[in-house]
Structure 1
Amino acid sequence: MATAGALRTRLWPVPTLAVVVAIAAGVGVPQLDVAIDDSLPPAVTDFLFGGGPDAARELLGSIAASLITVTSLTFSLTVVTLQLASSQFSPRLLRTFARDRFVQRTLALFLATFVYGLTVLRTVRTGTDGEADFVPMVSVTLAYVLAVLSVLGLVLFLAHLVREIRVETMVDNVYTEAVATARRVCGPADPDRPADPNPPRPPPQSAPIPGTGSGFVTSVDEDALTEAAEAAGAIVLVDRTPGSSVVAGTPVAFAWPADTATDLDAERLATLRRAVAGAITLGPERTETQDVGYGVRQLTDVAVKALSPGINDPTTAIHTLGRSAALLCELAGRKLGPKTLRDKDGQARVVLRRPDLTELLDAAVGQPRRYGAADPAVLARLFRLLRDLAWCTRLPTHADAVADQLRRLRVTVSGQDFDAVDRAHLEQLSQAVEAALAGVWPPHTDRD
C-alpha cells in the first residue's frame, strides 16, 4: 500500500509506461501496414494518409518536433504551478499536484505521440534499386490522430491547471483525500461508538523497541505486527502514530509478555524487534496512506500561511477553516484514539496509537487562533468551527475537547483591543458554542 501510494505521487510512472507502449505501437503498427497494404478497400484508404515518403517524413517530423516543444511547455507550467502552491499556500500541497492523474495522463499523451512519431519515421522508405516506396498509411494516420488529440489535451490541460491553482480547489482536494483516509483507517461512521475501552497499558518493565531509521511513520502493517506478537507471546504498543517523526535508535514501540508470570527471553525479544521494525514503514515525508491527521495539518498550514504578514489573506484562512470544520465533523463521527488488534483467540496483541479528537482539534485551531488573534473575522470563524463540531459530537470526551478550545479562544478574545461591536458579536458566537454543546442551535448568530 505504501509503495503504491508513493508511485501515485510521482510524475514519471504513467508517462514512462506510455513511452513503452508508444515504442511497441511504433514497431507493431507498421507491421500491420505491411500485412494489409494491398487489402484495404477504397472506402477505408480514402480516410488514410495518401502522401508519398517525403510527405510522410515531413508530417511525422513536424509532429515529433512540435510535441517535444509542447511537452516542455507543459512541464514548465506544471513546475511553475508547484512553485506557486508551495510559496503561496503550503509545501505539503505538492503531493496533491504530483498525484493529479489528469496532469500525468496529459504528459503521457504528449510523450507517447512524440515517441510514436519518431519510431514510425524510421519505417518510411523511398524505393531504390527497383524497390517500391513504403509509406505506412495506417501508422502515419494514427500519428496525425494522436497529434490532434494532443492539441485538445493541451487546451484541456490549461483549463485544468487554471482550476487547480485556485485555493478553493486545493483545499477541497485535501478535504476529499482526508475523508477517504478516515474511512479507510477508522472504518464506517459511528458517532456513538467510543474508542477501544481500556487498551492494554505497558507495565514499567516493558522492553523498548528502537526504530531502525529516521523519518516519518507512513504506514504500519497490522497483520504482520499481530502475527509477530502472537508468535512471541507478547503484547506490543506502537507508540508512534502514522505521521510521527522518528529518530533512529529512539523507541517506537514497547513489548511485554501477555502472561505476566513469564518474561520475554532475549531470543524472542530480538525476533520481535526485527518484526516490529519491518512492520513500521518510514518515509521522508508524511503521506495520507494511514495518517488521519495529515489532512488537518495541510488545511491548517494553508490557513496559517494566509495569515502570515507576507501573504495577509484572511479570506483564504476563513475559507480553509470552513473546510477544517467539515473535516473535524467527519472525523468526530468515526472511531478515533487507540486501536487494539487481537489474535484469533481474542487475546489483545497490539495497541496502535492514533490521534483522538482532542489532538486533531488542537492541530486545527491552535495556530490559527494564535496567528489570527488580531482579526475578529478569523476568531469568529473559529467560534463557528467549534459550534459546528459541538453540534456533531456525541461523546463526552469530544464535548470536553470543544469546551476546552472554547475556553482558550475566549481568553484570546479577551486579550485583544476590539471595539464594542466586534466584542459583542464574538461573545454572541461564544454563547452559541455553549448552546450547541447543550443540543441547542440558536438562530441569528452569523454576521456576513
Structure 2
Amino acid sequence: MVSLPVSRDALRAQLWPLPALGVVLAAAAGVGLPRLDARIQHRIPPSLEAYLFGGGAGAARTVLESIAGSLMTVTALTFSLTVVTLQLASSQFSPRLLRTFNRDRYVQTTLALFLATFTYTLTVLRTVRTEAVGQPLFVPQLSVTVAFLLALASVLALVGFLSHLARKIRVETMLRDVHIDAEDTIRRNLAEADSAAAGFTAPPQPPAHALPLPAKTSGFLVTVHEKALLAAAVEADAVILIDRSPGSSLIAGTPVGAAWPRNGEPFTTGTRHRLVRRTADALTTGVERTHQQDLGLGLRQLTDVAVRALSPGVNDPTTAIHALSHSSALLCELAKRDPRPRLLTDDHGRIRVVLQRPTLTELLDLVVAQPLRYGAADPAVLARILTLLRELAWHSPPGQHPAIVDALARVRSAVAAQDLHPGERAELASISEGVEQALIGQWPFTTP
C-alpha cells in the first residue's frame, strides 16, 4: 500500500520526472505553435512583426540547428557537473546526502529547461519548408522566436546553475538543507509536549499470547499508514502494537509488532490471516530511508558528516563541530515535543493502535556515540559534545534528564582516558559542570 505523500516524495527525490515533463510539453508546443503560425501568418500586426524572426527558411534552419546542437552540449555538461557533485557529496561527506541533492528543484528545473529547449527546437525544425522542396514556403516566425527566447533563458539558467552548484557543494549549505528537512519532519510528526500531555493514557502492554505481526518485505520502514492500521484493528476488534519506528530495518517474516483481541476472546483463523495481511500492507518499506516519517534520518545524516570529517583521511574537526551544532538544535527541538508512543483510538475513544517512536535516549546515542569514539582525542570535539549536552539539558523536561546524565558520564569517561593538556582538561571539566547546572535550571555566565 503506497500513499499519495509517499509517491510524491519518491518522485521528488528523482532527477527524471521534471525533465521528462519538460520534454513532453516541449514536443506538444513544437507541434502546436507552428500550426498557430500558419493560421496567423498573414494577420500579424506590423508593430508585432518587427519583434519576430524576420529571416528566410535557410536562416530559420540555421538558427534552430545551432540552438539544438549547442543545447545538447550544454545538457551533457550539466549532467556531468551534477554527477561529479553527487560523487563528491557521497565520498567526501555521506552517501545518505545524495537524496538531498536529487530533491533540488533548481537542478531539476535547469535540466528540464535544457531538454525542453532541445526538444522544442528539433520539433519546430521539421516544419520549416523551402520552395525548392515543391511545397509552399513556410517560416514559422513565432515558433522560431520562441526558440530564440528559450535559448536565451537556457544561457541565463546555465550561469545560475553554476552559481547554485558552487553554493550547493559547500558543507554549510548541505548541513543547512539536512537541518531544514529534519526539522520539517519533526514538526509534521510530533506534537508540542504541552498540547499532547493532556489526556494521555499509558499504552496497553501485549499479553503473552499476542499474535506476532511479521513484515511483508525486507527494507527500511518508510511509512506507517495509520488509517489502515486503525481500520484493521477495528475490524478485528483488536489492539495492534508496532514496535518498529520509521527508519528501522525490517526483514521479511520477522515480527515488527503484535496484536491481541480487545475483549479477550481468541481470534478466528480468518481474522488472524486478515489481520496479519492488512497490518503488513500498512507498512511501506523501501531501499533507503526518507524524511516522510523518519525522525532519526536527519540526525543520522549529520552524524555521518561528523564521523567522515573526523576520519584520518579527511581530518576536518571544524566540519564535525558544525554538524554537532546542527544536531544539538534538532535534539533541542525534539526535547520540546511529545516523545511518547502514538496512540490511535476508535470512535469510542478506545486505544486500538500503539506506534512506538524513537526515544530521546536512542537519538542522543545516535548523535554522541560515534563522534565521541572517533573524536575523543580532539578537545574541541569533546567540548562541543559537552556543550550539546548542556544545551539539551536546558531544553529538556526532567523526565529526559537520565539520558543526558548517562551521556555525560560516557563523555567524562572518554575525557579521563585521553592524554590531554591540563588546561584543556580543566576547560572540559568546567563545561561538564555547566551540564549539571543546566539540569537543575541554572546557566552561569562567564565574565571577561
Give the TM-score category using the shorter length.
over 0.9
Equivalent residues of 2:196, 2:338 under 8 A apart: no
1:381 alignment partner in structure 2? 384
Superposed CA RMSD: 1.5
**Cα distance per residue 1:249-298 (max 9 Å; x no partner):** 110121101112x1112110100111001100000111111001111111
Helix, strand or coil for the counterpart of 1:54? helix
Paired residue secondary structure (1:168):
helix
Percent identity over the alignment is 57
Equivalences for residues 10-409 of structure 1 within 5 A:
10-128=14-132, 131-188=135-192, 190=194, 193=197, 196-260=200-264, 262-394=265-397, 396-409=398-411
Cα contact 1:432–1:445 (8 A) shared by 2: no
| 1:442 corresponds to | 444
SS at match of 1:11: coil
1:160, 1:190 → 2: CA distance?
41
User: Alpha carbons of 1:382 and 1:93: their partners in 2 closer, same or farther (altered >3 Å)?
Assistant: same
TM-superposed deviation, 1:337 = 3.2
Could you say if the C-alpha distance between residues 37 and 192 of structure 1 is closer, same or farther in structure 2, counting changes exceeding 3 Å?
A: closer
Of 410, 413, 426, which residue of structure 2 is paired with 1:411? 413
Q: Is the 8 A contact 2:216 2:281 kept in 1?
A: no
Distance across 2 between alignment mates of 1:366 and 1:397: 21
Is this contact kept in 1: 2:60–2:144, CA < 8 A? yes
- How far off its partner does 1:194 sit? 8.9
Task: Assess, with a 3 A threshold, how the Cα gap between structure 1 residues 380 and 445 changes in structure 2: closer, same or farther.
Answer: farther
* 1:385–1:209 distance in 2 versus 1, CA, 3 Å: same
Distance 1:22 1:300, change over 3 A: same
Q: Is the 1:329–1:389 Cα contact (8 Å) retained in structure 2?
A: yes
Q: Distance in 2 between matches of 1:117 and 1:159?
A: 26
Q: Matches of 2:81 and 2:416 in 1, distance apart? A: 47
TM-score by length of 2: 0.97
Moved more, 330-339 or 365-374: 330-339
Q: Report the 3-state secondary structure (helix = DSSP H, G, I; strand = E; otherwise coil) of the residue aligned with 1:429.
A: helix
Q: Is the CA contact 1:194–1:335 (under 8 Å) kept in the aligned structure 2? A: no
Find the aligned partners of 1:191 and 1:327 in 2 and give their Cα distance: 20
**Secondary structure of 1:346's aligned partner:** coil
In structure 2, what residue type is equivalent to 1:433? V
Would the aligned equivalents of 1:195 and 1:339 in 2 still touch at CA under 8 Å? no
CA contact (8 A) 1:213 1:246 kept: yes
Q: Say whether the 8 Å CA contact 1:191–1:393 is kept in structure 2.
A: no
Q: 1:223 to 1:133 in 2, by over 3 A?
A: same
| 1:186-241 deviation line (CA, Å, top 9, x unaligned) | 13464984995421111111010111211000001000100100100100111211
Partner amino acid, structure 2, of 1:119: T
Aligned pairs, how many? 444
Does the 8 Å contact 1:178/1:295 carry over to 2?
yes
Residue 338 of structure 2 aligns to a residue in which SS? coil
Amino acid at match of 1:340: L
Q: Does the Cα contact within 8 Å between 2:129 and 2:135 map onto a contact in 1?
A: no
Distance 1:37 1:188, change over 3 A: farther
SS in 2 for 1:337: coil
1: CA distance, partners of 2:353 / 2:123: 56
CA separation in 2, counterparts of 1:113 and 1:84?
29
Shift of 1:335: 1.4
1:123-159 Cα deviation digits (max 9, x unpaired) = 0000248743110000000000000000000000000
> Which stretch shifts more, 293-302 or 124-133?
124-133
- Indicate how the Cα distance of structure 1 residues 445 and 210 shifts in structure 2: closer, same or farther if over 3 A, else same: farther
Residue 338 of structure 1 deviates from its aligned partner by 1.2
User: SS where residue 442 of structure 1 aligns?
Assistant: coil
Is the partner of 1:236 in helix, strand or coil?
strand
Q: Which sections of structure 2, spanning at least 5 residues, go unmatched?
A: none
Partners of 1:233 and 1:333 lie apart in 2 by 35
